[in-house]
Amino acid sequence: MSPDIIDFGIIKIRWYGLLFAFSFVLGYQIILKIFKQEGHTQKQLDSLTVYMILGTVIGARLGHCLFYEPSYYLSNPLEILKVWNGGLASHGAAIGILTSLYIFAQKNKEITYPWIVDRIVIVVASAGFFIRLGNFFNSEILGKATDLPWAVVFHRVDEIARHPSQMYEAIAYLGIFAVLWIYYNKWKEKTADYALFSRFLVLIFSARFLIEFTKENQSAFENGMLLNMGQLLSLPLIILGVVLLIKSAGKQKL
């Protein structure tokens, strides 16, 4: 499958870009519903959207450059700006989002940091689903060779049957989105601080850790490592999630 939906030469519309954009549109509608239910304004949400877009793109790009290819990008810093050449890291996006939300909460005192992170993770999980679909259409983040009946051959890359690791993640993230959305709708404003955020960290990065075993390494330096970079970056986030989950347990507001 071509990564391009429409190709007019100079102008191209790609599956990845369309799905990435759609994840923001859908996320906006979900968060708008949450904001209205809990007494916040659309103006506040519009401000939050700017922070989220900047945090996601800057964090994801810097994460890829510094986690996976630091020597190249530090030697060629202008290449960092060429986002259109590919290279985004979900762990970097996580750091960028959390940082942007902290800045947003500091500038909007009526919205606390725990409140916003507990709700934004719902749409982040849904966005992960669409982004991994985009990776699938782009024939990137490839799985290892396998003879399983659902193996996929990415003809644009080679003729090897591989794990559709992108789809494994997409399905996992869609399921996690459903869990978080159901949990939120059951408790809403009665959720203890970080109840959703902690579950998000544990579920998302545990899934990422396990699915990494089916993936090809993204950088040569990972070859020979017991755990690859994606797994090493996931471990502290899983631990943080467990700690916050324990702290929030028993603090459910009645």
Q: What is the pLDDT of residues 28-81, one digit of tens each?
A: 999 999 999 988 989 999 999 899 889 888 888 888 888 777 888 888 888 777
Residue ranges of the domains in the chain? 4-248
**Residue 63: predicted pLDDT:** 82
**What average pLDDT does range 80-86 have in this prediction?**
70
Instruction: Say which DSSP state 13 is in.
Output: E
**Residue 192: predicted pLDDT:** 86
DSSP helix, strand, coil percent of the chain (3-state; round to 5): 70, 5, 25
**Residue 136: predicted pLDDT:** 92
- Whether the pLDDT of residue 254 is over 60: the answer is no
**Residue 92: predicted pLDDT:** 83
pTM (predicted TM-score): 0.85
The pLDDT confidence band at residue 252, using thresholds 50, 70 and 90, is low
What percent of the chain shows pLDDT beyond 70? 93
Number of residues that this document lists for the chain: 254
What's the first-to-final CA gap in the chain, in angstroms?
A: 51
Q: Report the distance separating Cα 53 and Cα 50, nearest Å.
A: 5
Give just the sign of the alpha carbon dihedral 181, 182, 185, 187.
negative
145-152 contacts: CB < 8 A, separation 24 or more? 146/214
Helical pair 195-211 and 229-248, crossing angle rounded to 10 deg: 150
The pLDDT confidence band at residue 84, using thresholds 50, 70 and 90, is low
pLDDT tens column, 92-137: 888 898 999 999 999 888 899 999 999 999 999 999 999 899 889 8
**What average pLDDT does range 180-202 have in this prediction?**
90
pLDDT tens column, 198-244: 999 999 999 999 999 999 987 777 788 888 888 998 999 999 999 99
- Strand-pairing partners, residue 145, are 162
- Strand-pairing partners, residue 162, are 145, 152
pLDDT tens column, 140-179: 889 999 999 999 999 988 999 999 999 999 999 999 999 9
**Residue 250: predicted pLDDT:** 67
Q: Report the distance separating Cα 44 and Cα 41, nearest Å.
A: 5
Q: Report the distance separating Cα 58 and Cα 96, nearest Å.
A: 7
The pLDDT confidence band at residue 85, using thresholds 50, 70 and 90, is low
- Whether the pLDDT of residue 83 is over 80: the answer is no
The pLDDT confidence band at residue 86, using thresholds 50, 70 and 90, is low
